[in-house]
A and B are shown apart, each in its own frame.
Chain A
C-alpha cells in the first residue's frame, strides 16, 4: 500500500482550472517533491490531500484512507505545514509546541525524540514569542509542531521559500533524518537544488505534471546536447546566440549561457568562431551535463 495515491484528480475554480488529471503514487518512506512556480497548482493539490478541499473529480488516498470519505481519519495521522507560517505569533515557542501537541492528543515528551534535532536549535529561544523569531527559526518551529504527533505522512507546502540558503540546507538535512525514521514526506519547493534531494520529483506547471521521475532520470531525459558559453559581454552574447541559425534555444544561466543546437551534430567550434567574429573576447565554451532546471525549461517552452 502506498502512502499517497492520487488518481485523475481535477480541480477547478470559477474561471480557472487549477489541477488537470493529476496521477501519481508515493511509496512509504519516500521524499516526494513537487517542483513548480507559483500558480502551478501545488497548494491546491496539498489541500486536497490534507482533506481541506474537495476535488471536482478523481480519487485520492492518504495512508490508505480515502480523502473524502475518511477525512477524519486522515486528519489524525498526517502532519501539515501550509504555505504561510502557521504559528501563533503571540505565543512563545514552548506554548506553540504544547498547544499543537495537545490538539493532537499527545504530549511533547511522548515524541520528543522525533523533533529533538530540530528543536535543539530553537530551544534556547523557547520563551520567545514566535512572532519575534527569524524566518529560519519559525520554519523549524513550524516543522516541530507538524511532527509532534508522529505523523505517518508529512505535507510541507513550500517550507523553505524566502529563507536563507544556510537555513534551507539545514532544513533539508532534518527532512532526510525524518525519512530515515520511516515518515513519508511530500514537499513542494521552487528551488531546483532542493529538488535533487528528493527520491522522486514531479515537475508541475499550470496544473499539470510535465514529468515525474527520479532526479537522475529527469536529467537523463534531457536528451539534447547542452552547451555552456560565456564571454566578456554577456548581454550581446545572448543576442548573438539567438541570432545564430544553429542555435535552437538559449537562456541565461548564472555566469554562462546555456543553449541547445538544432542539430546535435553541429561542431561547437563553429559557434565559437562565430562569436569571435562578433568580437567577443575570453570565450569559454563547453558541452555540459544538464541539470533539473534545464530539463524543466525544455518542458515548458515546447
Chain B
C-alpha cells in the first residue's frame, strides 16, 4: 500500500512539473467548454431572411412583422423581383426567403389555398431544419391568433423548399469539412512531424553538415505528403460523388485548384510548426490542438459560423480551413464558379505568402 502511495505521488509530481501536460489536462477542457458553450448554439438566432411579398396586405405584414421581431430572424431584404431570389442565396446573403402569393389575406379568410413558400438553403441540413421549424412555429402562432380573432378555422400551411440539398443530406455539409480536416491533418501534422523527426533522431545534424541545401530537405519532406493529399482528395471526391451521391455541381477544375491551394497552405503550416518545436510529440500536439480543434469547431464544418458570438466569428477568419470549406461548399454544392470564390482564393494566397515567409526566415541552418 505504501508502495502504491509513493508511486502515486511520483506520478503526480511528473504531471504537475510538466507545463505542457498541465496545459492539456486543465486548460484544454476549459477552452472546449467555453467554445462549445458559446460558439455552438443550435438555436436559431438572427438568421438573415428575405421576403417577397406581392400582396402587401394585413396578413403578410403581420407575419413579416412577427418574423422580424422574433430573436430568430432578421429581415434584411424586401425582394422586388422574384428573380433576385436565386442571387441572394448564391451570394450567401440569406438563409431563407419567404415567398408570399398574391392576395394572401383574401385567400386566407376565404379558406382557399394559401400560398406561402419557405425556401431554405439546405447546404447545412440541420440548420435548415431548425430554421424551417422556427419559421413554421411563428406562422402557426399567427394562425392561432387569427383563429381567435375570426373564430373560423384557418390553416396556413407553408410549403418548404430546400435548395441545394433537397434530400437534406448531412453529407453535403460534412464532405467539405472532412476534406478540410484530412488535408490539414496530412499536410500540417504529418509534414511537421516528419521534419521534426530528423531533429529528434539526430540525423538532422548530419544532414546539415553536408552539401545538401536545407531548402531541398524541406521540399523532399513535403512532397510525399503532397502526393498523399492529392490521392486523398481524389478518393474523397470519388466517394462522395459515387457513394454518398453528393453532386459536384460546380466546376471540378476550380474545385481542384482551390484544393491545391489549401494543400500548399497546410504544408506551409506544417513547415512553420516544425521551426517552432523540437520533438514530434510537440508537433503533434500543436497540430492537434491549435489546428484541428479550431478547424472542427470554428470553420463552419459542424456548426454554422453565423450562429457563433461575434468575436468567435472574427477569430474564424484566421482559420485557413474556414476559407477552404466555404469555397468547397460554394463550388461543390451550390454549383458556383470562380467569381464566387475569388475572396477565398485571395485570402488563402495571402496566408500562404505570410506563413511561408515566416517559416523560411525561422528555418535554422544551424542548431543554435
Chain A positions within 8 Å of B, measured between CB atoms, are 47, 50-54, 71-72, 75-76, 78, 80-89, 100, 103-105, 145-146
Contact = CB atoms under 8 A, between A and B. Distances in A.
A83 B209 contact: no
B202 A52 contact: no
A82 B211 contact: no
B368 A76 contact: no
Contacts of A72: 211
B206 to A, nearest CB: 5
Contacts of B205: 47, 50, 52, 80, 82, 86
A27 to B, nearest CB: 22
A50 B203 contact: no
Contacts of B211: 72, 75-76, 103-105
Given A84-B202, A86-B203, A103 B210 contact: yes
A71 B365 CA distance: 10
Interface string B217-247: 0000000000000000000000000000000
Contacts of B206: 80-82, 86, 100, 145-146
Which of B201, B202, B203, B212 gathers most chain A CB within 10 Å?
Answer: B203
Taking residues whose C-beta sits less than 8 angstroms from the other chain, chain B's interface range is 10 to 19
B210 A104 contact: yes
Interface of B: 201-203, 205-212, 365-368
A151 to B, nearest CB: 10
A103 B203 CA distance: 13
Contacts of B365: 71
6 contacts: A50-B209, A51-B366, A52-B367, A82-B205, A86-B205, A145-B206
Given A54-B368, A86-B201, A103 B209 contact: no
Given A84-B202, A86-B203, A87-B203, A103 B212 contact: yes
Which of A50, A52, A71 has the most chain B CB atoms closer than 10 A to its own CB?
A52
Contacts of A75: 208-211
A149 to B, nearest CB: 8
Nearest to B216: A103
Contact of A82 (B202, B210, B212, B368): B202
A78 B208 CA distance: 11
Contacts of A52: 205, 208-209, 366-367
Given A52-B367, A53-B366, A54-B366, A78 B209 contact: yes
